[in-house]
Amino acid sequence: MGQLCSSDYGTWGAEKRMYHPSVARAADGTWRLVFQVNDSSPLFAAAYSRNLVTWRPQDYPVMSTQQCLKPVVFANDNGTFDIYYQTKTGDKRWVSASGNFRQFSKDQKSLIDQAAWTRDTATIAGKLHEGNTFDITAQELSTITSHFQQLQTDARLSSERMHDDTKNPLLPHQPVTATLHVSNSEKTISDKLIGIFFEDISYAADGGLYAELIQNRDFEYNAKDRREWNATTAWHSASPIDISTQHPLSSNNPHYAVIVADTLWNEGWDGIAVEAGHKYNFSMYVLADGQKQNFTIQLIGTDGTILASSKLKTQGTDWQQYTCVLSTKKSCTKARLAIIPQKSVRVGLDMISLFPQETFMNRPNGLRRDLAQVIADLKPKFVRFPGGCMSHGQGLDNIYHWNHTVGPLQDRKPDFNIWGYHQTRGLGFFEYFQFCEDIGAEPLPVLAAGVPCQNSAANAQGIGGQQCGIPMDQMPAYIQELLDLIEWANGDPATSKWAKLRADAGHPAPFNLKYIGIGNEDIIGTVFEERYEMICKAIRQKYPEIKICGTVGPFHAPSADYVEGWDFTKRHPELQYMVDEHYYESTGWFMHHRNYYDGYDRTMPKVYLGEYAASTNVKRPNIETALAEALYLTDVERNGDVVEMTSYAPMLAKDKHHNWDPDMIYFSNTEVRPTHAYHVQRMFSVYGGDKYVSTDIQIAPELKHRVGVSLVRHSATGRRYLKLVNALPVELTIKANGLTIPADSKTEEFSGQPTDQTLEMKQGVAGPNVLTLPPYTFRVIEL
C-alpha cells in the first residue's frame, strides 16, 4: 500500500510515515484505508479510493485519547465502517465512519477481542512481512499494473537531459529542416498569461525588495523566527542591551531598547550598502521621559571611516518620532549604523529605520529601486502575493492576516516566517497593491482557505498538519476578514472604515481589485473543502464581480490533491473562476508533457499555473532549463483559452539566504542578477498577445518535443510575435508556409550550451536567415 498511498501528515521528512495500514473493501467495490501516523498524536489517517490507485487526500479525525495506535477498519453491511484502535495503556476504542469516509463519530470504549488486530504474514523475496492482506480482482490488478507502467514511462521520459545529448542516439548529428504551416485561423487567448509570484522566501522582502536597511528595527526578533535569535539580534553595544516592554510604542510591537550612554550599532542585512553622494532618511521613535537627549547618527565604513553623520535633538514625555537625513561621502558595501548618545540619559528607542531616498517611484516606505525595476521590466500582467506557503502559515497561529499588515508601521503586527526568519510587515498589503499599480499589473492577493500548511508541526494538543482548520465557530470572523480586504481595496472612503484606512495611507482612489486567491497547495480533504466552500460562497454573495482563484494542491496529475481538487471544482464550478496548479519538474518532464492542457475541459473554470520551474541536477537556471520552459510556454500560449495566468516560482533569492533553488532573480545588497528563466518570462510577456494564430510544425516525430513554435497577435497594436525554440544539439532551419517575415523585423534571442549559466541577450533584425536557428536557441521575431 505504501507505493500506492503515502502519508501526508505532519512536517516534511521523517514524520510523514504510514504505520500499521488496514484496508477494507466496501460493498460497492470501493476501498477504505486507515493507518497510524505516529505514536503520540490523538488522530489517525483515513482515506478513500475507487480503484486502489488514486486515493482521496487523507482526513485525520481527532479522537479523545492521546494516542491512536494500530487502527483497523471493517466494512458493515449497511455501508458504514467500524474502526478500532488502541492506546499506549492498552485501551481499545471504537469509531463509526460514514460510507463516504468523511464523518466520524466520537470514540468510545470497546470490548472487541484482541483478534481484531491479528496481522497476516507473507514472504516476499525471501523476507517475512507482516500486514493486512486482501483479495483484488483481475481488473484491479490490471489497473495497478498499468499505473506503475505509466509511472515508469514518465520517469524514463522525464530523465531526458539536454546536457546528455551527446549520448542520446535518437538525436541528429547534422542540421535539421522543419516545415511550418501558418493558417489564417485565430482564437482568443488570455491577455494576462505572464505575471509574477512574489513570496517572502529567501529574504525576498525584508533585506530584499523592501528598501529598509536596518535589520530588526522593531526589536521583535525572537526564537520563533529562528532558534538563536532574540530582541537584540543585529544590534550591538559595549554593554548588554536592555530590552523593555513596560511602556511600548504599540501593543503589536511591545519590545524596545533602553540605552543610557553606550553607542548602539546595527549591522543591517549582511551589512548596509550605501553609495557616495546619495541621501538616506533616518528615523526613530524615542521615549525620553521628559529628559533631553542629543544623538549623533552615523554610517561607519568597515575601516572606521565616517561615511555620513547628522545630529538629532530629542525631548518630551512620551514616544515621539525624530528624523534626519544622512548624506554619504563615500560608497561602502558593508557599513554599520551608529546611534551615539551625547550624554548619560536613560531613553527608550524603537522603530529605528534607514531608507534610501531613491526608492522605486520614490515612494516613502518604498521598494529597492534596482530590484523593483528589474521586476517591472518583465511587464507582468499580474502579481500574486504574499505567498505561497507563507500565506497559510506554519500552523493556525501563523496564518497570514492581511489586516495585520496595513496602517502605521509601528501598529502592524510582525510574525515569524514559515521559511525560518522574521516578517516586519513593513512590506504589507498597501505596499503590494501600490507596487501593482505602479507597474500596471493586476493584484492577485492569496489568503488561507481556513487551513494552515499541511506540513505544519504539531500544536499544543499534538495535532499537526492542517490542525483541523480554523474552528467552525471562528470561521464567520475569518470570512469577514477576507470580505474586509475587498472593501479596503475597492470601497468608498466616505462610507467604509476599511476604505478610509486605505485613503489615510495616501490612496483615496480604489485599487480596483478583480481577483482573489483562496488557498495554496492545500490537502484537498474534508477540512479544506468545508471551509473553502464557505469562503467562496460568502465572497460570491457579497462581491459577485470578484474572480476567485482556488487551488488543486502542490502537484500535477495524477496526485491525489490534483484529482480531488479538480473533482471538487467540477462539482462546484460556480465557486471559482480559475484554479491554481503548481509543479516543479525536470527539463525532461516539461519537454515531454507539452500537450498537458490540450484535453482540459473549456467549459470548466480556467487554470492559473501559479508555480512552476524546470530544473536539472545543478539546481540553478541555465540554457537547458530556460529552453525547456520556453518550449512548454509555446504550448501554454496555444492553450491560452483555458490557461488564464502563469507565474514562475520562486522569483527572488538573496545570496547566502536561499530557501529554494532554482530562482528567477538572484541578488545581493549591491547586485541584481536576472537568470535565463527571467529572460524567458520577459520575452513571453513583452512579446505577448491576446490572439493565437494556428500553426503546425512538421518535423520528425522523435524530434518534435525539442522544437517549439508559437505565433500570437496583439489586437490593440496589430503586432504579431513569432516565438521559435530549438532545443536540439544541431542547427534547425524552418521553412514557413503562409508567413512572410519583413527583412527589418526586430529579433531578440539567446543561445548557448545546455549547462551555460551565463547569458548574452542578442537583439537585431531579421535578415535572410531569420528562420535558421543555431543549436539551443530561443528567438522572438516581431512581425
Q: What is the pLDDT of residues 372-417, one digit of tens each?
A: 999 999 999 999 999 999 999 999 999 999 999 999 999 999 999 9
pLDDT tens figures, 577-586: 999 999 999 9
Running DSSP on this structure, what letter comes out for residue 196? E
C-alpha cell at 553: 494542491
Per CATH, 172-186+694-782 and 196-203+363-686 having the same topology is answered no
The CATH class that applies to domain 19-139 reads mainly beta
C-alpha cell at 775: 543549436
For residues 225-234, average pLDDT = 97
> Quick check: is 521 catalytic?
yes
Confidence band of 12 (pLDDT split at 50, 70, 90): confident
For residues 471-492, average pLDDT = 98
CA separation for the pair 101, 80 (Å, rounded): 8
Contact between residue 632 and residue 590 where contact means Cβ atoms under 8 Å apart: yes
pLDDT tens figures, 68-98: 999 999 999 999 999 999 999 999 999 999 9
C-alpha cell at 326: 544622512
For residues 670-683, average pLDDT = 98
pLDDT at site 131: 86
- Active-site residue identified among 160, 267, 521, 644: 521
Confidence band of 2 (pLDDT split at 50, 70, 90): low
Q: Which of 82, 85, 45, 39 is nearest to 61 (CA)?
A: 45
The whole model's pTM is what?
0.96
Q: Which CATH superfamily is domain 196-203+363-686 in?
A: Glycosidases (3.20.20.80)
pLDDT > 70: what percent of the chain?
100
Domain chopping of the chain, boundaries: 19-139, 172-186+694-782, 196-203+363-686, 235-358
CA separation for the pair 48, 62 (Å, rounded): 17
| 610: pLDDT strictly greater than 70 | yes
| 1: pLDDT strictly greater than 80 | no
Residues in CB range of 189: below 8 A, 6 or more apart: 637, 640, 641, 689, 690, 691, 692, 712
- Whether residue 662 is preceded by a cis peptide bond, meaning omega within 30 degrees of 0, is yes
C-alpha cell at 431: 505596499
CA separation for the pair 548, 486 (Å, rounded): 12
pLDDT tens figures, 254-264: 999 999 999 99
CATH assignment of 235-358, among 2.60.120.260, 2.60.40.1150, 3.40.50.720, 3.30.565.10: 2.60.120.260
pLDDT at site 196: 98
∠ Cα 606 611 616 (to 5°):
130
The mean pLDDT value of the chain amounts to: 96
| 693: pLDDT strictly greater than 90 | yes
CA separation for the pair 569, 550 (Å, rounded): 8
Buried residues in 428-461 as b, exposed as e (16+ CB within 10 A): bbbbbbbbbbebebbbbbbbbbbbbbbbbebeee
CA separation for the pair 337, 268 (Å, rounded): 8
Looking at per-residue confidence, does 131 or 431 come out higher? 431
For residues 696-711, average pLDDT = 97
pLDDT at site 129: 85
Helix (H), strand (E) at residue 782: strand 777-782
| 755: pLDDT strictly greater than 70 | yes
| 58: pLDDT strictly greater than 80 | yes
Confidence band of 132 (pLDDT split at 50, 70, 90): confident
Assign a CATH topology to domain 172-186+694-782.
Answer: Immunoglobulin-like (2.60.40)
Confidence band of 315 (pLDDT split at 50, 70, 90): confident
Query: How many Cα atoms within 13 Å fall on the side-chain side of residue 672?
Result: 16
CA separation for the pair 522, 452 (Å, rounded): 8
Lowest-pLDDT choice from 18-32, 121-135, 763-777: 121-135
Beta bridge partners of 72: 84
| 706: pLDDT strictly greater than 70 | yes
CA separation for the pair 515, 308 (Å, rounded): 45
For residues 555-583, average pLDDT = 96
CA separation for the pair 283, 337 (Å, rounded): 12
pLDDT tens figures, 140-184: 999 999 999 999 999 999 999 999 999 999 999 999 999 999 998
Q: Which of 1, 36, 40, 43 is nearest to 17 (CA)?
A: 36
